[in-house]
Amino acid sequence: MKAQGERFNGDARVLHRRAIRTPLPDEDAERLFHENMMRVADAQERKAEMLADPDVPLLTAYEEELDRLAQSFKRRLRRTAGGDYREVAMAYNRGERDDQIGALASYYFEALWRMQQRATVTDALFFPIILRYPDSFTVNIRFASGYTTTESVHYESPEHLSERLEDQYAQTYHEESNFSQRQAAEYLRETAKITREEFPSPDETSFEERKYGGIVSAGGRKGTVFTSMLKRVEPDPDRFSEPVEVPTLVEEGEEARRTERELLLDGEVIL
């Protein structure tokens, strides 16, 4: 995976119970947000295609997904802090700067570093929530213990099996794994539809139709088992009483706490 080159020793507290709120002052900003979310939906459909293809290893689909997410975080980092985003994030974490750009860079870079670890670390659930409000949107990048949720779809990866099976069992296992991947592919196609419906184009819908939207998703792995989940989230219309003019770190909303209660298994916690 290309993103493996980054290294970071930041502070996990920068992510904990926090989100980035970004203003949507006009239709151009709304259009950019919509386009970004359509790229998310496109990626979900791309992953579905790969899972449905028996000639494509699940590992390939997984690594492509991680690389896409890493590149997305890097684009946000460059827009936020420029090409030297790593130095900006590190300076903030060392206490050498205490400004909004440093805080945002630290947030995204911590997320990027954690995302890279998912290529080799299991039992770490990626659990983000994205919410659209009339004048802004929030991205809450969360990681939780465990590898699944109460509503996740599970699918198997023979490439990650460490033990060698006898031929008669190996064939059955591969067939069952391919079936689970096809089922996951169908599920991911539906999640792409949800993403498109929750964040419609400002050129095709009225403001009343698009001013609220939200999704929560989760992806994890434990051994040979991979999991995926995405569902709609109803934003709290009373969450913010004041507008925001620039991207700003904010405390998580009740929507995040609600999805944590509803979706995480007993004993699992937000890291």
| Residues, the chain | 271
How far is 228 from 230, CA to CA, in rounded Å? 7
Residue ranges per structural domain of the chain: 7-263
What is the pLDDT confidence band of residue 38, given thresholds at 50, 70 and 90? Answer: very high
Answer for the pair 119, 221: CB distance below 8 angstroms, yes or no: no
pLDDT for 2: 41
Check pLDDT > 90 for residue 11. no
pLDDT for 164: 75
Closest CA to 254 of 123, 140, 108: 140
What is the pLDDT confidence band of residue 1, given thresholds at 50, 70 and 90? Answer: very low
pLDDT for 121: 74
Mean pLDDT of 190-201: 97
pLDDT for 5: 45
Check pLDDT > 70 for residue 188. yes
Mean pLDDT of 116-124: 76
Q: What is the pLDDT of residues 97-109, one digit of tens each?
A: 999 999 999 999 9
Q: What is the pLDDT of residues 136-182, one digit of tens each?
A: 999 999 999 899 999 999 999 887 676 776 777 778 888 899 999 99
Query: Which residues make Cβ contacts (< 8 Å) with residue 170, sequence separation at least 6?
Result: none
What is the pLDDT confidence band of residue 27, given thresholds at 50, 70 and 90? Answer: very high
More confident residue, 161 or 65: 65
pLDDT for 266: 83
Measured CA distances, 90 to 10, 22, 69 (Å): 7, 23, 21
Backbone angles phi, psi at 172, to 5 degrees: -65, -45
Query: Could you tell me the pTM of the whole model?
Result: 0.91
Check pLDDT > 50 for residue 56. yes
What is the pLDDT confidence band of residue 119, given thresholds at 50, 70 and 90? Answer: low
pLDDT averaged over every residue in the chain? 89
What is the pLDDT confidence band of residue 122, given thresholds at 50, 70 and 90? Answer: confident
Answer for the pair 134, 249: CB distance below 8 angstroms, yes or no: no
Check pLDDT > 70 for residue 26. yes
How far is 126 from 128, CA to CA, in rounded Å? 6
% of the chain beyond a pLDDT of 70 = 93
Check pLDDT > 60 for residue 10. no
Mean pLDDT lowest among 65-79, 225-239, 251-265: 65-79
How far is 149 from 141, CA to CA, in rounded Å? 16
Mean pLDDT of 78-100: 92
Mean pLDDT of 219-243: 95
